[in-house]
């Protein structure tokens, strides 16, 4: 499959439905996202917060004719460790199922890694669910190394979000 023609840009509020559709289009996402019409208000509140925060960017790859092909969120965080260096954290990565394997994800990551360099980051980090072995292989193919064991503590179930 050849890489479709697309542009990378900041997400707009009008993209939210397609973004949530991609996020919910797999076994894990379908359990934690609410792809309802209309979308629940927490998605709009989160988008507004991301848009106002200079250290957060929600980025999409948009095809000329196919709509949104992929999405990721990149967050820039200053740390006291590593001599006060900045890190970029990439999360919420999804490629539209019809374009997986086309190179879109690889190009979007190249863009994000370059963006981290532009922002002076010394490290790019991400997490991936253990139930997504294909994602782990993809990240390793980009040079990411599973160097740490990640842990999470759930403070509330996302189903507690109200519309």
Per-residue pLDDT tens digits for 86-103 = 999 999 999 999 998 889
Q: How many distinct structural domains can be found in the chain?
A: 1
Whether residue 65 is contained in a domain is answered as yes
Residues of the chain with pLDDT under 50: none
Whether residue 108 is contained in a domain is answered as yes
Q: Which domain holds residue 32?
A: 6-145
pTM: predicted TM-score of the whole model, two decimal places: 0.89
Q: Are 76 and 59 in contact (CB under 8 A)?
A: no
Whether residue 159 is contained in a domain is answered as no
Whether residue 163 is contained in a domain is answered as no
Residue 96 token pair:
């539209």
Q: How many Cα atoms occupy the beta-carbon half-sphere of 48 within 13 Å?
A: 5
């Amino acid at each position: 499959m050849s890489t479709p023609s697309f542009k990378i840009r900041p997400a707009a509020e009008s993209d939210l439905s397609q973004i949530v559709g991609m996020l919910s289009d797999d076994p894990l996402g379908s359990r934690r996202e609410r792809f309802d019409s209309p979308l629940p208000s927490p998605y709009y509140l989160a988008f507004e917060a991301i848009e106002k925060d200079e250290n957060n960017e929600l980025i999409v790859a948009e095809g000329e004719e196919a709509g949104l092909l992929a999405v990721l969120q990149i967050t820039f965080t200053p740390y006291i460790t590593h001599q006060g260096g900045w890190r970029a954290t990439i999360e919420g990565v999804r490629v539209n199922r019809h374009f997986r394997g086309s190179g879109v994800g690889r190009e979007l990551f190249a863009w994000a890694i370059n963006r981290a360099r532009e922002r002076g980051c010394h490290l790019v980090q991400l997490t991936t669910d253990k139930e997504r072995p294909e994602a782990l292989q993809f990240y390793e193919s980009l040079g990411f190394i599973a160097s740490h064991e990640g842990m999470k503590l759930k403070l509330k179930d996302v189903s507690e979000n109200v519309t």
